[in-house]
């Protein structure tokens, strides 16, 4: 697989692996054996970039994902780029499926979090460490300063921001150069394209989470009843309601036509489009299916011309589609 550069010098595979779904938000968690098979296959296919977070888990085991990856990735640690995140917790008093997030960007929280993540992930450093959401009660300069300290101590080598605005990115970057932002981005959620100019100016990479709109763009789902309740967040996402699925019929039919023309799948077209948009974009689709994993990674062999990308962009501006899940509510 080709390599892309995040920031000034962080080399990653051009398609990464978002590991959240093994432990959080998509129903029953993966077993260690299932995770081992997925990780081994991903590495065999050329994937070097793996993404987790301290809050990816269950009510019973809130750090399940980091602990799972700590066991599974250990044999490959010197061959991969490992990213995690800190700075939020769930509002456990909420009764909704996707509980609201409570940001905490205090330096003392970040410094405590990195110790827990390093222990659970069985490593002495992280290659990329994000603040998971922006805490508007803490100046971003203080958060960035804490990350700078962690870099000086060798506990992390690069840092980033998730779901950040241009103002926050600029202020953080002045304190400690930002390597990457990780924001939601897909054919159905393009709000953050407005950040492209500042990312290019400051030489910051864009790691795209939910690049397949939580799975809708795989064209594999046709009924709202397919999702586990209450553990699967998709049961509450607008694009997967019966109404949402109907609203997306024309869009998905159009995607299938494009895919057939390229001898590809809709998911592969979605990822290929993203890779063609900018050389610093790295999507991190997640899956628990070996066949789907191979399908995602093979998207890197599908090339779209500038003209084809422009045609797709134009169509995305006009074709009807539903609302798409924009993330768990963040408490102010």
Catalytic residues: 56
**Of 133, 87, 85, 83, nearest to 106 (Cα)?**
87
Q: Give alpha helix (H) positions in 107-218.
A: 107-120, 140-152, 166-175, 196-202
**Of 236, 241, 190, nearest to 211 (Cα)?**
190
DSSP-assigned letter for residue 298: G
Handedness of CA 298, 301, 307, 310 (dihedral sign): positive
**Of 112, 45, 123, 28, nearest to 83 (Cα)?**
123
Cβ(94)–Cβ(323) under 8 Å?
no
The DSSP string of 43-111 is: HHTT--EEE--TT-S-SS-TTHHHHHHHHHSGGGGGGSEEEEEESEEE-TT--SSSPPEEE---HHHHH
**All residues at 6 or more sequence positions from 137 whose CB lies less than 8 Å from its CB, including other chains:** 103, 105
Burial of 317 (0-12, 13-18, 19+ CB in 10 A): exposed
User: Would you tell me how many other CB atoms lie within 10 Å of the CB of residue 26?
Assistant: 21
- Phi and psi angles of residue 79, each rounded to the nearest 5 degrees, phi first: -110, -5
User: What is d(CA 39, CA 308) in angstroms, rounded to the nearest whole number?
Assistant: 33
């Amino acid at each position: 697989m080709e390599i892309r550069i995040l920031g000034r010098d962080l080399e990653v595979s051009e398609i990464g692996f978002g590991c959240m779904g093994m432990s959080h938000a998509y129903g029953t968690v993966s077993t260690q054996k299932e995770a081992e098979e997925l990780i081994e296959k991903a590495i065999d296919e050329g994937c070097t970039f793996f993404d987790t977070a301290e809050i990816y888990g269950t009510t019973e085991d809130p750090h399940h994902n980091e602990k799972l990856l700590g066991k599974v990735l250990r044999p490959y640690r010197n061959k991969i780029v490992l990213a995690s995140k800190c700075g939020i917790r769930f509002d456990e008093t909420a009764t909704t499926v996707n509980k609201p997030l409570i940001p905490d960007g205090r330096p003392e929280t970040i410094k405590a979090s990195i110790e827990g993540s390093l222990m659970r992930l069985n490593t002495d450093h992280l290659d990329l460490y994000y603040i998971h959401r922006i805490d508007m009660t803490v100046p971003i300069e203080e958060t960035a300063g804490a990350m700078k300290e962690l870099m000086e101590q060798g506990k992390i080598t690069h840092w980033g921001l998730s779901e950040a605005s241009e103002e926050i990115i600029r202020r953080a970057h002045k304190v400690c150069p930002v390597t990457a932002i990780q924001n939601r981005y897909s054919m159905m959620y393009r709000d953050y394209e407005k950040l492209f100019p500042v990312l290019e100016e400051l030489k910051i990479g864009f790691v795209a989470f939910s690049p397949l709109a939580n799975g809708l763009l795989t064209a594999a789902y046709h009924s709202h009843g397919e999702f586990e309740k209450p553990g699967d967040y998709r049961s509450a996402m607008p694009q997967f309601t019966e109404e949402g699925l109907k609203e997306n019929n024309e869009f998905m039919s159009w995607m299938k036509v494009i895919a057939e023309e390229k001898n590809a799948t809709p998911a592969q077209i979605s990822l290929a489009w993203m890779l063609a948009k900018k050389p610093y974009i790295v999507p991190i689709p997640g899956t628990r299916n070996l066949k789907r994993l191979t399908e995602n990674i093979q998207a890197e062999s599908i090339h779209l011309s500038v003209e084809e990308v422009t045609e797709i962009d134009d169509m995305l501006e006009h074709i009807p589609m539903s609302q798409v899940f924009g993330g768990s509510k963040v408490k102010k």
